[in-house]
Amino acid sequence: MKKQMSMLIMIFLIFSNALFLLTGCQTNASVEKIESVGMLIEHTIHDQTWGNKGYRGLLDIQEEFNVDVYFREGVQTQQQVNIAVEEFANKGVQVIIGHSSTYGEYFNQIQDSYPDIFFIYVNGGYSAQNLISLNFNSLAMGFFAGMVAGEMTETNRVGIIAAYEWQPEVEGFYEGVLYQNSDAHIDIQFVNDWDEKDLAMQYYRAMLSNNTDVIYPAGDAFSVSIVENAMSDGIYSIGFVNDQQALGGQSVLTSTIQHIDKLYVYAIKELQQGDVKGGIYNFGFKEDVITMGPYSEHLKEYFKDQLDHVIEDYIENGLLPHEE
């Protein structure tokens, strides 16, 4: 009887110790310290717009968190993504940022093969346990750009040349123009590529010949060309992604700026602290990752005050003026 009791006690103690070790490991679990981050860029870091801004965000991550960083340019296909991700994995990279919406589908195809890597990309609908989409609420920035265009057109003809139909800023621009100026005609064209300069310039010339006098180039590389040409042709433009007054001077009425560099730093910080998991997250004016650029001297003070007031109300209640 004593032997049986001793055996039971021993088994209980062994089981208790094993349970303590198991629960102890769970209780003390924490997000592993991030020591290396990689970035994939569709085109180049020298484009003065989206690619360069992503690269600057990567450098900010390096400085802020004292981590190793790696990047690859010209990564545009699933095969190229697979090769780059495997290369990063062999280097011990723990977070891979795909600096484009196109990387959502590519990452979704391979994320389960790399459970120890967090994949981050922008503006998409794919997510998983280790796959994060950082989405800009860009309908509002398009609306405010539209208000500027509607206010400043003298011919009542404004234009937007966008990359893709799904861009929320296109709808926002249309609604913003008509909110400010119900008499305005809005020409909308798509080039189906973030960097399609030739087709974008064809649309620009056609709009110019139709007396369009305010234009919003909602794309990457081609926005630079259009802003520069608008200045030479004596019409107004609205900058996209970056403050583009350095390119177009005061002919750039303002810019809709996406601070993707700030957003990447924020995401790494949240990952480091264990405050963010795989999923889809939305950010905008309220989080200060979208802002309007400096106003041109051509904008009247009363309108600048009106626009600032509308933006402040939107930040406070989340409603655009035509939605209230």
CA angle (71, 98, 124) in 5-degree steps: 170
CB 230 within 8 A of CB 202: no
Burial zone of 275 (CB within 10 Å; 0-12 exposed, 13-18 middle, 19+ buried): exposed
pTM of the model: 0.83
Strand order in the sheet with 95-98: 68-72, 36-40, 95-98, 118-122, 131-136, 279-283
**Which residues in the chain are classed under CATH 3.40.50.2300?**
36-136+261-283, 139-258+294-323
Q: What integer pLDDT is reported at residue 220 of this predicted model?
A: 84
Q: What integer pLDDT is reported at residue 5 of this predicted model?
A: 39
Q: How far apart are CA 64 and CA 60, in angstroms?
A: 6
Q: Which one-letter amino acid corresponds to residue 68?
A: D
How are the residues of the chain apportioned to helix, strand and coil, as percentages rounded to the nearest 5? 50, 20, 30
Mean pLDDT across the chain: 89
Give the mean model confidence (pLDDT) for residues 243-265: 95
Q: Strands 236-241 and 214-218: what pairing?
A: parallel
Give the mean model confidence (pLDDT) for residues 131-146: 96
Give the mean model confidence (pLDDT) for residues 13-38: 48
For residue 21, pLDDT beyond 80: no
Q: What integer pLDDT is reported at residue 18 of this predicted model?
A: 34
Q: How far apart are CA 111 and CA 154, in angstroms?
A: 51
What are the pLDDT digits (tens) for 75-124? 999 999 999 999 999 999 999 999 999 999 999 999 999 999 999 999 99
Give the mean model confidence (pLDDT) for residues 138-167: 97
CB 135 within 8 A of CB 158: no
CA angle (160, 224, 152) in 5-degree steps: 45
CB 212 within 8 A of CB 157: yes
Name the band, by pLDDT with cuts 50, 70 and 90, for residue 49. confident
Q: What integer pLDDT is reported at residue 3 of this predicted model?
A: 40
Tokens, residue 165: 């139909």
**Which residue, among 226, 263, 264, has the nearest Cα to 244 in the 3D structure?**
226
Q: Strands 185-190 and 36-40: what pairing?
A: unpaired
What are the pLDDT digits (tens) for 76-87? 999 999 999 999
Tokens, residue 220: 């990457």
Q: What is the DSSP letter of 117?
A: S
For residue 30, pLDDT beyond 50: no
Domain 36-136+261-283 class in CATH: alpha beta
Was domain 139-258+294-323 assigned CATH 1.10.10.10? no
The residue among 8 and 247 whose pLDDT is bigger is 247
